[in-house]
């Protein structure tokens, strides 16, 4: 039977206003020990340009913020019934935040990385870059699983990545989530 790993992330502006939500789901066949990112928020190592951050980190900390919110609402008006991880990059130009989760044992069977990515309903200035990386234990190589630009456009993105082509079956893998403010290009805003 398939197990589903779920984690929802919500993004937040410098002033503490929420502006984006991303729900991550990994479907794994035959795994008897489901892993949910949200349950291990503070087991991840969180950092920004300011250095390693405490977790959870206060809603107004200028170095970067991460905590759990119980009711994310997307720009489409959809309110999820699952809690969300709130992220706010460091309060500086091109600020970002990154969380590196501990190694997860991948099943021998196939697995999928599934996510819903969107801005929150009340943040029409949402404009971020989202990156998901993975690294196999014993390797120095950080591999890009996917990257997305998320803007407030009254739609959400559904991501569904088959991990079987990544040769991860049976290996210990760490996942790295990185969110940064979309840089402003001179002359466009």
* Strand positions, DSSP E, 13-83: 18-29, 45-48, 51-53, 65-69
Distance CA 5, CA 112 (A): 10
Task: Summarize the confidence of residues 62-81 as an average pLDDT.
Answer: 84
Q: How confident is the model at residue 97 (pLDDT cuts 50, 70, 90)?
A: very high
Q: Which range is least confidently modeled, 1-5, 50-54, 104-108, 124-128?
A: 1-5
Q: Provide the 3-class DSSP secondary structure of residue 157.
A: strand
| Tokens read off for 188 | 């466009």
Q: Minimal CA–CA distance to 87: which of 19, 31, 12, 152? A: 12
CA distance 115 to 9: 10
Residue 138 half-sphere exposure, CB side, CA atoms within 13 Å? 3
Give, as one character, the DSSP assignment of residue 149: E
Q: How far apart are the C-alpha atoms of 37 and 24, rounded to whole Å?
A: 8
* pTM, rounded to two decimals: 0.76
């Amino acid at each position: 039977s398939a197990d589903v790993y779920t984690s929802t992330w919500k993004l937040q502006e410098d002033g503490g206003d929420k502006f984006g939500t991303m729900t991550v789901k990994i479907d794994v066949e035959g795994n008897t020990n489901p892993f949910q990112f949200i349950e291990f928020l503070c087991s991840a190592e969180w950092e920004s340009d300011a250095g390693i951050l405490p977790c959870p980190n206060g809603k107004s900390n200028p170095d970067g913020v991460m905590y759990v919110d119980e009711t994310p609402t997307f720009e489409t008006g959809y309110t999820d019934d699952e809690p969300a991880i709130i992220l706010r990059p460091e309060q500086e130009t091109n600020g970002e935040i990154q969380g590196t989760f501990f190694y997860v044992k991948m099943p021998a069977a196939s697995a999928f990385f599934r996510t819903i990515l969107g801005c929150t309903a009340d943040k029409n200035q949402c404009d971020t870059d989202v990156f998901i990386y993975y690294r196999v234990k014993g390797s120095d190589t950080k591999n890009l699983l996917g990257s997305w630009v998320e803007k407030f456009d009254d739609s959400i993105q559904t991501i569904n990545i088959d991990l079987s082509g990544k040769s991860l079956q049976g290996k210990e893998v760490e996942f790295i989530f990185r969110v940064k403010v979309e840089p402003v290009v001179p002359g466009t805003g």
